[in-house]
């Protein structure tokens, strides 16, 4: 059989993971990996740590230099795909050229959301390496940084910049921070910890109503009536799937590119994975955008296997976040909103633990400075392991009881397999 | 072929309640090498009786690797250890969230992921554990050998015969540079196959019953003279070892030849029509010790061949069964390492045809023999007797006799007599284990 040509658009986690899986599945097709960036594969996750100075920009490469050689793949930088024509099996580039594919993986990731008003006032987004380099040069000699947004990236940057010695002000549009990962009380505790470390967190300021450049910096007035002036203005209001290349291609896009459990889009031979897709959610089974690295890695794996002709299904995205700030660690897995489920909270010894149960199994958990193996808790959720009468115990000693429950369940599974 | 690595093995629920020895010594070891955190954690849940320690499994497909944003985690192809490259580690905690087994330590204040690296080949927790629940299994070489079966699949032995399992197990454990010897008996089918093809891919020689030890002696001495270290291993039945070929065996032991002699004891001449041998048990049925009328099977006690072999003062003697493979393997590995004398291993090998039990029950019979102390597992190593598998609550020998048709004729009184023999032998063995040397 003639070798097929597999094209992967993007070089992030999903792309790299798909390439690995293609080869692991024994596929010897020609593979081309295209990125619009000039950098070798890296994860945007690393960038706040580069800013903090914890790792050098040269050390965040996701793969070793010989990776693409070992994978027998061609890696092309600074090549932006602008459209896909599924009927002709072709993709077109910005320079007018086009290329044929037999199978295509779209792993283009996401774009940061920067409102036009803020952009006009010189606000920076923070999403890719070039943003990081741009921010780094702006920071030289400046003092006061204002961050608009209260999601994970905003808070991570706030912590990193504060540790670097900047005066940091966080502006949360609404009444909560980190709302996708933590409940109100945990959010409140995190705000307190930020405040104690000298970061000002302003709540419920609304959207930017007016913004203008002011000297080297900017001044912004928010819909709630408050104003802020800062040397550097950062907009971290989340990300949206990068789907421009599939417009008018017939590939269905809702919020993200819609894919089934095999990571197939709505047209033949085109797969998609990572932050750009809307894939099944683990807990609800419905499609949702879940732009986190572990989901991208899993989706890439599934896509790679299916592109190699195997049959692999995605178990669904399970949200998980580890938020490491100052000397604290906040962890969140699965469901946050309680909506009719049983919720248990423990507040001893200055730590915070919150468990959400659906029926007899754990559906969500969040911890602040608790002694716990988060991966074990995640496994309890993923395997829907019944917790039974040990709920209170799990809440009080999440590390010990979590491990024990997982271990007992694994043993039962092994026994039933043998039987 | 898959690759195998040395690994930590932790026995569950043997930790003394509240003990933290492993994690404490681990934290110190990590600190000394410039790291922080833990590579092993213990947990104590008195309410459910869980007292155990857990560490990284060094998975073959580690979930932590998939989610590392900087490729700071890698599994070494050399020793299989999953390591964190400190320079590249962000301290983002994703690996900690991805590992389902609690193998990566990450807590408030952690600057980087911390995990077990087997202390680069010398895990400190092993010696720190007060109950020896943590072992460092240097299994790489052993497991690799276990996948090199020198025999073809299939054989003309009876279906379900544990002797076939035993000979495959022995030869896998012995590994390369091994010569196999045998004589007339069931297992010789493993040498010659079905007549038209060879069954075995290593040098194998079947001589007559009275010359196995002397043949082995010659081969071993020849290779020693040629400067090559080879293993000469015999796999023979009890008829050969205890009766017909006993004199040359005793002679080789007395000369302390560097050979490994394995006897699979099916307690009779099962190959030629189930006649009695000197290891046939007291009151057991054979075709030459019938149970018709007032006859009650064999009236003499069986010959305790392993004990006699130990009395020769050779470096190593042991008893084993295939139902306790770890114990069996440990003994084979000890015998394999001995370069200055003879080793003798005596395996109880139930015979479906001659003992009378259902085909799938071979391992059950082996287990029952051990659990009733009918066949205690022990070793004799350079003068020291040791019971290797102490039976905590021994069952009555009736539980063993009940499984076998050869004991079907026993009255309650007879079972009592058999129990007495078992008890006396165990007492004798225990007395020996208490002695410094024979």
CA distance B42 to chain A (A): 8
* Contacts A–B by Cβ distance under 8 A: 129
Question: Side by side, which strands form the sheet with B260-265?
Answer: B204-206, B178-182, B231-237, B260-265, B343-348, B316-320, B378-381, B384-387
- For residue B194, what pLDDT is reported? 65
Predicted ipTM of the assembly: 0.93
The span from the CA of A314 to the CA of A300, in Å, is 10
How far is the C-alpha of A14 from the C-alpha of B244, rounded, in Å?
71
Distance CA A398, CA A393 (A): 7
Query: Tokens 């798909």 appear where?
Result: A18
Shortest distance between the Cα of A223 and any Cα of chain B, in A, equals: 34
Note the pLDDT of residue A2: 76
Q: Is the pLDDT of residue A417 over 50?
A: no
For residue A92, the model assigns a pLDDT of 96
Residue B289, C-beta contacts closer than 8 angstroms, at least 6 positions apart: B276, B280, B295, B297, B298, B299
Task: Tell me the torsion sign for CA atoms B85, B86, B87, B90.
Answer: positive
Strand partners, B380: B317, B385
Touching check for A396 and chain B: CB below 8 Å? Answer: no
- pLDDT for A158-216, tens place per residue? 999 999 999 999 999 999 999 989 999 999 999 999 999 999 999 999 999 999 998 88
Nearest to A403 among B43, B110, B111 (CB): B43
pLDDT tens, position by position, A120-144: 999 999 999 999 999 999 998 888 9
**Alpha carbons within 13 A on the beta-carbon side of B90:** 32
- B407-425: pLDDT as tens digits: 999 999 999 999 999 999 9
**pLDDT per position as a tens digit, A7-66:** 999 999 999 999 999 999 999 999 999 999 999 999 999 999 999 889 998 999 999 999
Is residue A19 a contact partner of residue A71, using CB atoms and an 8 Å limit?
Answer: yes
Does the CB of A195 have a partner CB in chain B at under 8 Å? Answer: no
How far is it, in rounded angstroms, from Cα A22 to Cα A17? Answer: 9
Q: What is the edge-to-edge ordering of all strands in the sheet holding A232-235?
A: A200-202, A167-171, A144-148, A232-235
Q: Which of A61, A328, A406 is nearest residue B100 as measured by Cβ atoms?
A: A406
Q: pLDDT band for position B195 (50/70/90)?
A: low
Q: Is A397 on the interface with B (CB under 8 A)?
A: yes
Q: What is the pTM of this model?
A: 0.71
The half-sphere exposure of A161 on its side-chain side, counting CA atoms within 13 A, is 29
Closest residue, chain B, to A49 (C-alpha):
B90
Nearest to B237 by CA among B204, B212, B262, B214: B262
């Amino acid at each position: 059989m003639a070798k097929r040509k597999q094209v992967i658009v993007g070089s992030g986690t999903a792309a790299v993971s798909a390439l690995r899986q293609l080869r692991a599945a024994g596929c010897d097709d020609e593979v081309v990996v295209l990125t619009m960036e000039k950098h070798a594969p890296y994860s945007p996750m690393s960038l706040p740590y580069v800013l903090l100075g914890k790792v050098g920009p040269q050390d965040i490469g996701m793969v070793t230099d010989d990776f693409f050689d070992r994978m027998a793949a061609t890696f092309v930088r600074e090549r932006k795909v602008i459209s896909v024509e599924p009927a002709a099996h072709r993709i077109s580039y910005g320079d007018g050229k086009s290329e044929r594919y037999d199978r295509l993986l779209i792993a283009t990731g996401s774009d940061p959301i920067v409102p036009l008003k803020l952009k006009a006032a010189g606000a920076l987004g923070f999403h890719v390496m070039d943003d990081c380099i741009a921010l780094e040069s702006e920071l030289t000699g400046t003092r006061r940084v204002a961050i608009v947004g209260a999601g994970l990236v905003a808070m991570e940057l706030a912590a990193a910049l504060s540790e670097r010695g900047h005066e940091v002000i966080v502006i949360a549009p609404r009444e909560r921070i980190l709302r996708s990962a933590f409940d109100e009380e945990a959010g409140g505790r995190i705000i307190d910890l930020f405040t104690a470390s000298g970061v000002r967190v302003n709540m419920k300021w609304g959207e930017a109503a007016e913004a203008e450049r002011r000297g080297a910096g900017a001044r912004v007035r928010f819909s709630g009536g408050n104003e802020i002036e800062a040397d550097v203005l950062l907009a971290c209001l989340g990300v949206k799937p990068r789907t421009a290349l599939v417009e008018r291609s017939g590939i269905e896009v809702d919020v993200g590119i819609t894919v089934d459990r095999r990571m197939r889009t709505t047209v033949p031979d085109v797969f998609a994975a990572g932050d750009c897709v809307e894939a099944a959610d683990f807990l609800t089974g419905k499609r949702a955008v879940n732009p986190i690295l572990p989901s991208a890695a899993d989706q890439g794996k599934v896509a790679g296997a299916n592109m190699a002709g195997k049959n692999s299904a995605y178990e669904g995205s399970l949200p998980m976040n580890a938020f490491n700030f100052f000397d604290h660690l906040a962890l969140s897995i699965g469901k946050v909103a309680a909506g009719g489920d049983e919720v248990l909270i423990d507040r001893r010894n200055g730590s915070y633990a919150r468990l959400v149960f659906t029926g007899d199994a754990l559906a969500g958990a969040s911890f602040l400075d608790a002694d716990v193996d988060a991966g074990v808790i995640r496994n309890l959720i993923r395997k829907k392991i019944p917790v039974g009468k040990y709920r209170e115990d799990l809440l009080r000693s999440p590390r010990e009881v979590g491990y024990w429950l997982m271990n007992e369940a694994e043993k039962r599974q092994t026994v039933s397999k043998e039987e | 072929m898959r690759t195998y690595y040395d690994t930590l093995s932790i026995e569950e629920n043997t930790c003394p309640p509240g003990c933290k020895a492993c994690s404490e010594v681990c934290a110190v070891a990590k600190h000394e090498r410039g790291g922080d955190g833990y590579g092993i954690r213990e947990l104590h849940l008195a309410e459910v009786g869980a007292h155990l320690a857990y560490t990284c499994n060094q998975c073959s497909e580690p979930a932590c690797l998939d989610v590392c944003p900087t490729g700071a985690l890698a599994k070494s192809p050399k020793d299989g250890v999953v390591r964190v490259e400190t320079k590249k580690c962000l301290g983002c905690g994703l690996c900690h969230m991805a590992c389902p087994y609690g193998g990566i330590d990450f807590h408030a204040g952690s600057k980087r992921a911390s995990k077990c690296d087997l202390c680069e080949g010398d895990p400190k927790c092993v010696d720190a554990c007060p109950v020896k629940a943590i072992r460092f299994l240097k299994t790489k070489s052993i497991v690799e050998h276990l996948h090199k079966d020198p025999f073809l699949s299939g054989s003309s032995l009876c279906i379900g015969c544990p002797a076939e399992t035993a000979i495959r197990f022995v030869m896998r454990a012995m590994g390369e540079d091994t010569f196999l010897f045998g004589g007339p008996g069931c297992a010789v089918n493993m040498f010659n196959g079905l007549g038209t093809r060879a069954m075995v891919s290593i040098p194998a020689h079947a001589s007559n019953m009275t010359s196995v030890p002397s043949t082995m002696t010659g081969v071993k001495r020849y290779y020693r003279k040629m400067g090559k270290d080879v293993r000469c291993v015999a796999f023979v039945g009890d008829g050969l070892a205890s009766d017909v070929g006993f004199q040359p065996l005793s002679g080789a032991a007395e000369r302390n030849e560097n050979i490994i002699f394995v006897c699979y004891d099916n307690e009779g001449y099962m190959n030629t029509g189930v006649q009695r041998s000197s290891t046939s048990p007291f009151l057991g049925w054979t075709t030459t010790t019938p149970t018709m009328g007032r006859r009650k099977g064999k009236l003499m006690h069986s010959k305790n061949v392993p004990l006699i072999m130990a009395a020769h003062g050779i470096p190593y003697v042991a008893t084993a069964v295939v139902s306790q493979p770890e114990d069996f393997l440990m003994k084979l590995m000890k015998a394999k390492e001995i370069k200055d004398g003879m080793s003798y291993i005596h395996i109880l090998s139930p015979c479906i045809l001659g003992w009378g039990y259902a085909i799938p029950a071979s391992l059950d019979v082996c287990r029952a023999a051990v659990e009733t102390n009918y066949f205690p597992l022990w070793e004799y190593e350079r003068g020291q007797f040791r019971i290797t598998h102490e039976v905590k609550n021994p069952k009555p020998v009736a539980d063993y006799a009940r499984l076998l048709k050869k004991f079907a004729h026993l009255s309650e009184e007879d079972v009592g007599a058999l129990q007495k023999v078992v008890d006396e032998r165990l007492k004798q063995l225990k007395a020996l284990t208490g002695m410094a040397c024979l």
